[in-house]
Amino acid sequence: MVESRLLERMLHIVNPKLTSGLTNDGLLRQSIVQHLTRLLNTRLGSVPIDPDYGLSDMNNIAGSFSIGTSEQICEEIILQIKRYEPRLKNPTLTTIKEENQIITLKFELSAQINHGRTNLRSDPFAMYLRINSAGQIKIEARRDR
């Protein structure tokens, strides 16, 4: 469980029932998703100890595909992941256009899970990111990987 964050490891020690039934890989993936959710839903400049933590305010992104700002959003998300989520290496973000969801942006996040210095193994990590019109990012698992 070395790949988990410190507070998650402490929580597991205090209350192991919260994480029962999950493998170490499942716990790691859950930890990464939870951290990315917090990171990507934190507004840039709202954390006094690190003004670079978080994303710009995306409250008004309803027409972003037509304006062409999805590339800027991708670059900003990738920068945050590279900076603050060291358990993922080589992250890429691909824009996915959906005809039935005009006010939601959808991206596919692909990366490799970095298991640490001693373990050369790297597992694929693939998730969907959805940004709604309120600027909230939801992360959901890809079922085909």
pTM of the entire predicted model: 0.79
d(CA 75, CA 68): 13
| 3-class DSSP assignment, residue 79 | helix
89 contacts: CB under 8 Å, gap ≥ 6: 111, 112, 113, 114, 122
Q: What is the pLDDT of residue 67?
A: 46
Residue pair 1/27 in contact (Cβ under 8 Å)? The answer is yes
Q: What is the pLDDT of residue 49?
A: 94
Rounded to an integer, the average pLDDT of 60-77 is 68
Query: Across all residues in the chain, what is the average pLDDT?
Result: 80
- The better pLDDT of the pair 7, 58 is held by 58
Among the ranges 88-97, 102-111, 119-128, which has the highest mean pLDDT value? 88-97
Domains of the chain, first to last:
6-141 (3.10.450.40)
Kindly indicate the confidence band of residue 126, based on its pLDDT and cuts at 50, 70 and 90: very high
pLDDT in tens, 18-62: 656 667 777 788 889 999 999 999 999 999 999 999 998 776 554
Choose the weakest-confidence range: 6-20, 88-102, 121-135. Answer: 6-20
Residue pair 35/5 in contact (Cβ under 8 Å)? The answer is yes
Q: Which of 39, 26, 124, 43 is nearest to 85 (CA)?
A: 39
